Amino acid sequence: MADKTPKNEGLQLKRQIGLIGGVAIVSGTMIGSGIFMSPQYVLAYVGSPGASMLIWFFSGVVALLAALSYTELGTIIPESGGEFTYILRIYGSFPAFFAAITFILLLKPSSIAAKSMTIAQYVMAPFYPGCPPPQLAVKCFAAFSILVVAITNILNVRFALRVQVIFLVAKVFSLTFIVIGGLVKVIQSSTVIEENFNIENAFQGTQFSLNTLGKALLQGLWSYGGWSNLNYVTEELNKPEVNLPRAVLIAISLVTTLYLLVNVSYLAVMTPKELVSSSAVAVTWGNKVLGSWGWVMSVAAALSAFGSLNGTFFSGGRVCFVAAREGHMPDILSMAHVHRLTPSPALIFTTIISLVVLIPGDFQSIVNYFSFSAWFFYAIVLSGLIYLKIKKKDLPRSYKVPIVIPILVLIAAIFLVLAPIIDNPQIEYLYVALFISSGIVLYIPFIHYKLCPRVLDKLTVFLQLFLEVAPADKNL
């Protein structure tokens, strides 16, 4: 095995995230590809503007309640790692390993790939008016975006946080501009109000089925993805007992308000048919409102998605880092750079997996199957919180939510997992289930019996020296 620094000399990731940084990580990750890509899919699934707005509102409520439930868990178990750590401490090593491989090999890389594709599509949209850009060009630029974000996060934590704050300010300004543009359009045209915002017309054509409702919610909640990001970096958050709940409340309230107003603006400028048929909603909106300056919205959308990609990458690498620290991934991934104090091996590994996922993926399928498996593990974590609230009432916690909140979110999570399967079963859901359950093949020899090929020991020593990294301890 690689020589490890004695525990009392071990490295620690510094607590460099304050309240502003926490808000930027949560809201900056949430505001990204979703609000620019998902509106047409949500509307296509439910069939009417009114039902679409309800989906966006309900998605925001679910995200807020889920985030508040996670906040209580974050004060009970003040460790980084999110779902992996909570499942490990509540249910033990075996189920935690399945969470680890799913988040590390499927969920986080899928999210990174989807967001990088959004950046590429918006950057290229002005160069291919009236037709979608070539997939090869989109994926090459998406890969470039992933590499830029990876280098940013590997080099310096504080710089990555500054990037997150700067891009948050830029994207809030962009969305506010969209809201104002839509408001002006509504004031100028009374027919818009009659066609899209009249109660009778607003719900005309609504499609009611478990499958369409479930998929619409998954698309909506994809746009709120990032509500749990601070739980992945709790050990790097200053005063988590104070800043975690504050950051969550500020960020999700801000995002929900902006999302509802932006969707109103889209519908004020575009008819439902135009919105559903658009491959880049913000660009179509920009062309209608700004004319020849419509390309500005492409740039704004791409920059917004880049900030979201940065936040996803920042938190995603920590899952791999913590899982390795707990012995559920190779030792090298639990190490941090001796000078920069970044978990560089875990970030490099996340980069490689994300690039692999990018090759075959398309946005809509990535979102559907990402969200399906994500909410499966969210349900497990929420059931764990309910267990702790009933059986472990004496555990110290600085923040509490009424038990009805995690129960309601658990019901929503179960619905999101089961509704699409029951109403319209597809073979892809079986593939996801087989992927998750295949982890047992790795768990028994390498985690339970701790078998380790000697060549892996030598590789760990080589990479430790080459990457200038050393084992890192918990920062509690």
* 375 in Cβ contact with 416 (< 8 Å): yes
Q: Domain residue spans in the chain?
A: 19-471
- CATH code: domain 19-471 is 1.20.1740.10
Running DSSP on this structure, what letter comes out for residue 132?
A: P
pLDDT one digit per residue (tens) for the chain, 476 residues: 344 444 444 678 888 899 999 999 999 999 886 787 778 888 888 888 888 999 999 999 999 999 999 999 999 999 999 999 999 999 999 999 999 999 998 888 888 988 898 888 888 877 877 777 888 898 999 999 999 999 999 999 899 999 999 999 988 998 999 999 888 877 777 666 566 566 667 777 778 777 788 888 888 888 898 899 999 999 999 999 899 999 999 999 999 999 999 998 988 888 888 888 876 787 788 888 888 787 888 888 888 889 999 999 998 889 999 999 999 999 999 999 999 889 999 999 999 999 998 887 655 566 566 667 888 999 999 999 999 999 998 888 888 999 999 999 999 999 888 877 776 777 777 877 888 888 888 898 888 888 877 778 889 999 999 999 999 888 76
Q: Which residues pair with 471 in a beta bridge?
A: 335
CA atoms within 13 A on the CB side of 357: 29
Beta strands in 74-233 (DSSP E): none
CA angle 420/423/429 to nearest 5° reads 40
Those residues whose C-beta lies under 8 Å from the C-beta of residue 136, and which sit 6 or more positions away, are none
3-state secondary structure at position 286: helix
Q: How far is CA 356 from CA 12, 21, 105, 113, in A?
A: 30, 30, 10, 9
Give residue 95's pLDDT.
93
d(CA 37, CA 40): 7
Alpha-carbon separation of residue 207 from 42, 46, 51, 415 (angstroms)? 11, 5, 9, 17
Q: 113: exposed, middle or buried (C-beta count within 10 Å: 0-12, 13-18, 19+)?
A: buried
**At CB < 8 A and 24+ separation, what contacts does 324-329 make?**
325/472, 325/474, 326/81, 326/84, 326/85, 326/88, 326/96, 327/447, 327/450, 328/84, 328/93, 328/96, 328/97, 328/100, 328/447, 329/100, 329/104
Return the pLDDT at 19: 93
Instruction: Please enumerate in sequence order all residues whose Cβ is within 8 A of that of 145, keeping only pairs 6 or more positions apart, or say none.
Output: 116, 119, 120, 306, 309
For 373, the token pair is 């498996």
> What is the predicted pLDDT for the residue at 370?
64
Are residues 318 and 229 in contact, defined by beta-carbon separation less than 8 angstroms?
no
State residue 346's pLDDT score: 95
Instruction: State whether residue 11 is helix, strand or coil.
Output: strand
Q: Determine the 3-state secondary structure of 67 from DSSP.
A: helix
pTM of the model: 0.88
